[in-house]
Amino acid sequence: MRLDDERESRNVEDRRFETGGRGMSMQGLYLMWPLIRMLLQTKFGWAILAIGAGAYLLGFNPFALFQPQSVPTHVQRPANDTQAVFIKKVLATTEDVWSSILPDYGLRYHPPILVLFRGATQSGCGFASAQTGPFYCPRDQKIYLDLGFFDQLASRFHAPGDFAQAYVLAHEVGHHVQNIMGILEKVHALQQEALRRGDKKRANHLQISVELQADCLAGVWGHFTKSRLEPGDVEEAMNAASRIGDDTLQKQAQGYVVPDSFTHGTSKQRLQWFMKGFKSGDPRACNTFN
């Protein structure tokens, strides 16, 4: 994907180099371990640890109290951070595309904030870790991404390539577009109603529709970036979409498929909806709920 002349989005919050605050300080953990071990031996100690855990979930890092004042809040960033630069440029293209599309639907596009983190951080939707993968939080309208996921995408899921990475971000931006359109709020209400009735299958089905629509909206974005694509880029995105389908992931993890537990759709569905958006360039073609 050719983005050499593309601007970098400024809607980025870089937490990758934090050693205190929201991030988890390994130095703080090391210093606290003797105290933690002692507290684990008493009920009172367990209560203190529970309070500390609650404080962490609210955005305060107890480890920061044990971090020497001489340790800087941020570590020096590498001079050539090409992966971060690339993803910031991809984010800028999503801003341009959706800022031009949504006014046709009477909506104004307010770009999401991309939070880059390393290992773990706190989000408006709770604790975020590298293991959860990239996700969008509608409460704070931020996308959370550990860039290390792209290494997993290439090695574990066999979906390498820069446009595969761009597709992942475009999918999360698709969730932000759904939020602006009011879709996420409506679906959440329907899911809660289904769960109150004990219909978990219906709730999962609704979530699949949400995810497939985000794939389609990522395809819409891709339609308007065709001039920046290089040979093989579309195939990279198609491969990524097919590699992270629920059926494929379940087969890899456990050797068999449980359709009732799907939350993102099959590989075939994810590929089909991405290509539907890519070919049409029309969000109205992304109605996955009918």
Q: How many percent of the chain have pLDDT more than 90?
A: 56
**Model pLDDT for residues 171-212, shown as the tens digit of each residue:** 999 999 999 999 999 999 999 999 999 999 999 999 999 999
What does the alpha-carbon distance between residue 47 and residue 159 come to, in Å, rounded to a whole number?
A: 45
User: Looking at residue 100, what is its pLDDT?
Assistant: 97
Question: How many CB atoms neighbour CB 29 within 10 A?
Answer: 13
Would the pLDDT of 232 be above 90?
yes
Asked whether 87 and 145 are in contact (CB, 8 A), the reply is yes
Question: How many CB atoms neighbour CB 93 within 10 A?
Answer: 23
What predicted TM-score, i.e. pTM, was given to this entire model?
Answer: 0.78
Would the pLDDT of 64 be above 60?
no
Cα–Cα distances (Å) from 264 to 148, 206, 208, 227, 270, in that order, read 21, 10, 5, 29, 8
User: Looking at residue 72, what is its pLDDT?
Assistant: 41
What does the alpha-carbon distance between residue 6 and residue 93 come to, in Å, rounded to a whole number?
A: 8
Instruction: Report residue 277's pLDDT band, with 50, 70 and 90 as the boundaries.
Output: very high
Would the pLDDT of 253 be above 90?
no
Would the pLDDT of 230 be above 60?
yes
User: Looking at residue 250, what is its pLDDT?
Assistant: 55
Q: Token pair for residue 100?
A: 């031009």
Region of poorest pLDDT, from 7-21, 134-148, 149-163, 260-274: 260-274
Would the pLDDT of 26 be above 60?
no
What does the alpha-carbon distance between residue 38 and residue 35 come to, in Å, rounded to a whole number?
A: 5
